[in-house]
Amino acid sequence: MFNTRIKITMFVFSGIAIVIILGYVLLFLLAVAQEGEFIKYDDGVTIKVNNTSNQPTPKIKFTLGYSENPDFQDIGEITPLDSENAAKIRNDDIKTANDDLSLYIEYKLKNGDTKKEDLFYSPAAVPQKIVAVIDITDIDKYGDIKLKYKGFDGFGTINGE
């Protein structure tokens, strides 16, 4: 009788342990599926810029923000990059926002005007991780940057031009 009770208790605890372990494995697999190739990047904001154009880039500034406040959080700047060079920005913290965030890119055109555009939108108000891998493919005669990007927006993988 006593041995049977111990066996049943051990069986129940073993079952609970297996369910917990399988739950953690499932959560890990979901994270891998969501983040794809960007799982290797740390939490926070990581921006990598590759200049594959045949011209140097202007200084480029990155911010996180939303329509009413595109400068909500300064991420950093990349100094001018010569052709075929790359640079990386890391920021460990993402500020808590009351709205969904977007990644903005800002640079000066050749006439001195500043161009600021929404690179991509993050559907999470407080994403744990944002990754952008940006390839600058061309810079036109006005200084307007043509680029392609891929990354992780805090919810899933993204890409665009």
Q: What is the value of pTM for the model shown?
A: 0.77
What's the mean pLDDT in 107-133? Answer: 89
Class of domain 41-160: mainly beta
What's the mean pLDDT in 124-143? Answer: 90
Q: Are 158 and 121 in contact (CB under 8 A)?
A: no
The model's confidence at residue 104, banded by pLDDT at 50, 70 and 90, is very high
* Domain extent listing, the chain: 2-36, 41-160
What is the pLDDT, as a whole number, of residue 1?
A: 56
Per-residue DSSP letters for the chain?
-HHHHHHHHHHHHHHHHHHHHHHHHHHHHHHHHHHGGGGGSPSEEEEEEEE-SSS----EEEEEEETTEEEEEEEEEE----TT-EEEEEES-----SS-EEEEEEEE-TTS-EEEEEEEEES-SS-SEEEEEEEEEEE-TT-PEEEEEEEE-SSSEEEE-
The model's confidence at residue 106, banded by pLDDT at 50, 70 and 90, is very high
CA 74 centroid distance within chain: 15
- Asked if the model's pLDDT at residue 32 lies above 70, the reply is no
- Asked if the model's pLDDT at residue 94 lies above 90, the reply is no
- Asked if the model's pLDDT at residue 161 lies above 70, the reply is yes
- Asked if the model's pLDDT at residue 101 lies above 90, the reply is no
Tokens 């929404």 found at: 118
Edge to edge, what strands does the sheet with 44-51 contain? Answer: 86-91, 44-51, 129-139, 145-152, 157-160
What is the pLDDT, as a whole number, of residue 70?
A: 76
